[in-house]
Amino acid sequence: MKLQNFLGKRQDSAGCREAAPSGRRHSLRGVGSMDYYASQSPLRKWNDSYKVTAAGTALLLCLVLNRIEISAAVLLSMGIVNVWASQVPLRDYIGFLKIPIAFLALGSVAIACGVSSQPAGDYWISLHGCYLYLSNEGIRQAMELFFKAMGAVSAMYFLALSTSAGELAGVLRKAHVPKIIVELMNMIYRFIFILTKVQRNMKTAAVSRLGYVDFKTSCRSFGQTGGNLFLLSLRKADTYYDAMVSRGYEGEFLFWEEEKPVKFWQAGILAMYALGLLFLFFLVK
């Protein structure tokens, strides 16, 4: 009986250890990191250059054709690809879109509205001697700008949610982008996550010591955290450089790249997508 109890406890503890990774995965999903979704996306097995070409094609057609219908089609199609093909949860994808939507909504309102000393436009209201007015042309321009920008953002989200930064750096290297630019981009991108984690730990420590109890204390804690983070970033940069040199770093990053040939049906999908947008353009013209 004692042996069975002991084995049962060992099995329970092992079950707890096995359950831990799923908890970590859940926390990563809560963070909503694009890099995490790119590493988990089924499209990660597709050719990286093909995905860059597809995103660039959608972006270029959205900007050049300059029609609300085209922009809305790109926004909807890229959203379906990101949610269905890349398997990004709809709630998280909407969360990614919140910031550009808010920014573009404010910019569109500024374009659509105008102020005049006398009644103007198609719709206007009087505000203490001034007139705030709207015109049908201004509303149309604001809607075109909003949908065009959102279509471009969704095309870039397709690339970001299916291609990791390392794979994108490999595509840039194949495109003969200067080596120093590619390596700096890769190092800066990786270092951002390191500093973000350090800053989060510092803030947690400050909060646990009532460092954000009021506005004055919060400002002081924020300044101290920023100063410590700057010094720590210099120290970590020196440490990581020594680590790279000890592992044979000679001024160039060498990463293992998986061969992902472009299949015929994938090229066909991209061609049909581009032709479909062109057909829609001539249809609504």
What is the predicted pLDDT for the residue at 28? 45
State which residues form the domain around 72. 32-110+147-163+259-285
19 is a domain residue: no
pLDDT of residue 259: 84
Q: What is the DSSP letter of 117?
A: S
Residue 270 lies in a domain: yes
- The answer to whether residues 241 and 267 belong to one domain is no
- For the beta carbon of residue 26, count every other beta carbon within 10 angstroms: 9
Are residue 85 and residue 155 in the same domain, yes or no? yes
The number of folded domains in the chain is 2
Residues 81 and 43 in one domain: yes
Residue 235 lies in a domain: yes
Residue 88 lies in a domain: yes
Tokens for 259? 């061969």
If you count them, how many residues does the chain have? Answer: 285
pLDDT of residue 11: 39
pLDDT in tens, 43-84: 988 999 999 999 999 999 999 998 899 999 999 999 999 999
pLDDT in tens, 105-142: 888 888 888 777 777 767 777 777 777 778 888 888 88
Residue 242 lies in a domain: yes
- Can you give the pLDDT at residue 24? 39
Of the pLDDT bands very low, low, confident and very high (cuts 50, 70, 90), residue 22 is very low
Residues 94 and 206 occupy one common structural domain: no
Looking at the structure, do residues 173 and 154 belong to the same domain, yes or no?
no
132-153: average pLDDT? 87
Say if residue 76 is in the same domain as residue 156. yes
For residue 120, tell me if it sits in a domain.
no
For 184-228, how does the pLDDT look when each residue is reduced to its tens digit (9 = 90+)?
Answer: 888 888 788 788 888 888 889 888 988 888 888 889 988 988 888
- Find all residues with CB under 8 Å of 151, minimum gap 6, and list them: 58, 59, 62, 70, 71, 72, 73, 74, 75, 78
Q: What is the pTM of this model?
A: 0.74
Distances in whole angstroms, Cα of residue 53 to Cα of each of 31, 32, 215: 29, 25, 49
Closest C-alpha to 38, from 1, 88, 109: 88
Residue 272 lies in a domain: yes
In a domain, 125, yes or no: no
